[in-house]
């Protein structure tokens, strides 16, 4: 028994050859979705051993919606895995180990001895030094935890009570999801933090 086409044995005298009809169906599948022919090969592989692609077109047409949904689900899973891998790589690359030794980036770039902090660099312009000093001063004012109680005037402390404290903040948990083939970060926030 040879290959059947629409439940008939194949003949050579057809208006549309088997190859052309199969090519039309293949082109139709590719135009719907480029991955569809590969999925058809997986799903209907055993039937395609004895039948032509054109002869199983009605079955493919009936199952088309579920086949396309399967392709979308597979693509979503692939892109989600790729996003998670990409997120892990960026998260790891953002981690910079804290170094305890002195190193001046300006002197390091210039090839000079760099065993000092940037704020102590003799090559740093005076204007930049003043800016850094102001930034440190503002930081010290706002940092209640590092406030030295010995330097405070006792009469000042007796007159005023502390009206505010430093608020500890904690980042809300989140999950990376996909919505409409777009990666989205969903923040899980109950409002309690």
Please state, in angstroms and rounded to a whole number, the distance separating the CA atoms of residues 51 and 41: 12
For a pLDDT cut of 70, what percent of the chain falls above it?
67
58 or 174: whose pLDDT is higher?
58
Q: Who wins on pLDDT, 17 or 24?
A: 24
Higher per-residue pLDDT: 139 or 47 = 47
Mean pLDDT of 171-182: 78
pLDDT tens readout for residues 28-77: 999 999 999 999 999 998 988 999 998 999 999 999 999 999 988 888 87
Cα–Cα distance measured from residue 60 to residue 64, given in angstroms and rounded to the nearest whole number: 6
User: Which of these ranges, 6-10, 82-86, 158-162, has the smallest mean pLDDT?
Assistant: 158-162
For residue 187, give the nearest of 163, 164, 162, 170 by alpha carbon.
Answer: 170
Question: Which is higher by pLDDT, 177 or 42?
Answer: 42
Spatial separation of the C-alpha atoms in residues 193 and 172, rounded to whole Å: 7
Q: How many CA atoms lie within 13 A of 128 on its CB side?
A: 9
**What average pLDDT does the structure give for the chain?**
76
Q: Does residue 128 surpass a pLDDT of 90?
A: no
Section 83-90 average pLDDT: 65
Collapsed DSSP state (helix, strand, coil) of residue 174: strand
Query: Which band of pLDDT confidence, cut at 50, 70 and 90, is reported for residue 159?
Result: low
135: its two tokens: 């930034």
> Exposure of 59 by Cβ count < 10 A (0-12 exposed, 13-18 middle, 19+ buried)?
middle
What pTM does this model have? 0.37
Whether pLDDT at 143 is above 60: no
* CB within 8 Å of 158: residues ≥ 6 apart: none
pLDDT at 8: 76
The pLDDT of residue 99: 53
Instruction: Give 12's DSSP letter.
Output: S
pLDDT tier for residue 118 given thresholds of 50, 70 and 90: confident
Which of 184 and 44 is assigned the larger pLDDT?
A: 44
Q: What is the pLDDT of residue 145?
A: 47
């Amino acid at each position: 028994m040879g290959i059947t086409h629409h439940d008939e044995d194949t003949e050579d005298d057809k208006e549309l050859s088997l190859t052309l009809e199969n090519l039309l169906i293949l082109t139709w599948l590719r135009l719907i979705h480029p991955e569809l022919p590969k999925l058809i090969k997986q799903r209907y592989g055993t039937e395609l051993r004895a039948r032509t692609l054109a002869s199983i077109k009605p079955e493919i047409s009936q199952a088309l919606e579920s086949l396309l949904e399967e392709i979308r689900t597979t693509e979503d899973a692939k892109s989600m895995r790729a996003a998670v891998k990409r997120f892990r790589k960026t998260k790891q690359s953002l981690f910079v180990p804290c170094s305890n030794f002195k190193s001046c980036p300006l002197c390091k770039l210039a090839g000079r001895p760099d065993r000092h902090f940037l704020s102590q660099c003799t090559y740093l312009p005076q204007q930049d030094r003043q800016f850094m000093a102001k930034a440190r001063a503002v930081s010290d004012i706002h940092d209640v935890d590092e406030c030295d109680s010995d330097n405070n005037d006792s009469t000042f402390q007796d007159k005023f009570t502390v009206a505010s404290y430093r608020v500890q903040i904690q980042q809300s948990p989140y999950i990376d999801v996909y919505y409409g083939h777009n990666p989205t970060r969903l923040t899980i926030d109950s409002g309690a933090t």
